[in-house]
Structure 1
């Protein structure tokens, strides 16, 4: 009798699993039929979610610097090292029948470390090593309310806007982590197919950080161009070149830097990808030479 009961439970479990897998397969088939071309998602997604679909991206960026570019573009050693680990969870949901409008939430968790030794390992930000430590902070720093939409009939041009709400805005902890003000970021995302296997992805941001009790408003405009090649249906190597300009509230130019980078995206299928890349600031004015290592995971449900 127990054996028959066990057999019945096994059969029921297999039937439920088969049904669930069939539903997943149907949703992926529907999702694939609505996609237009391939996409890379280095640290931002330009893929519109159809109604009832949800995209989840976990981006993990390690930024480190011990060098500064002067106003004359001369590189000097800072005699210290600053390292930040920025973990960002982005959830985007399709709400319109046309698939032309998405809403989302972003959550940012940051860890920051300042070391007296410029040659110290950036990986110290992951632990609690007190040797050479000047300052160490970590916190959930902000929540972002986001909209992603298609302003025109073409699917190649996507606009994404995020309003960031700082958590603990007045604290020295949030100031050190660099996420202590209300801000609005508008991202213009454009995909262009060069050939059957090669395409461009252009990202231009307009970030406005609003005035608070400690600082005036400022504006940052990073522009990045990515070139990607479909090596196989699963592997997309890519390269990037970028420029960032920043201004204060009077629109006086305050800093500028130029970036290059390389990356690789592994696409298990259109609903699950892993993305990693490295970038380096190779020239600048009144700016740090940041080196960035990024690992991102994207899943659509």
Structure 2
């Protein structure tokens, strides 16, 4: 029996999903234009699907799990469980209007025409804000809608904002923030859940490795206590004596988000020869 996983057929999420599986040690026979592929060394079948179709495949039990944008699940995936947030393909779903639109608050959009591919998300948001909008549902690029008189504004995913800028639009409200997630079918069989747990174990090890750096440094022994207090290692740092009397080598792990702040403190505490290495995987 094999676990059936869906990923986006093409695009950035497709590439990053395959990269994650590769880092999990899963080798996939991935021929050009295939809609389904087999893993060579793990009980896994990969289905390449349109992003918007994946929630229904999960609901129907055609696939057991999927790597998908959280925003798509919020729009179409009611009842589907998110089991892991994956930390890549981050974006936001936002409202945008033409740059010459005199916008001061959400009330300025009351009664306006909004073009979007996310009608459920928009309606839920505006209902909570006690305003109403006239939706024009578009499956595809919506940025052009205000320029051709089809809508007063749009609601779409935003990453860098460059597409909005090119289309003379400005972002005025963020409805939600999104990233890639691992979602699970409500009908997954117990036997496949066991395979899923093994895959999740590997994914967590990769993600923890991505989010940390391995640090080696030299420190005078009289500064060790202060340096150890600074280091946020998994349990405690490794300390080894150097051949030079009065000095030790300290090995530890630093979370990526705290990296530069911790390094500055280590230098101030007397650390020297600081060496930083990437971590491929981290199993706790």
Task: Indicate whether the TM-score tops 0.5.
Answer: no
* Rg (Cα) greater in structure: 2
Structure richer in helix, relative to its length: 2
**Structure of greater relative contact order (alpha carbons < 8 Å, 6+ residues apart):** 2
Smaller-chain TM-score bracket: under 0.3
More strand by share: 1
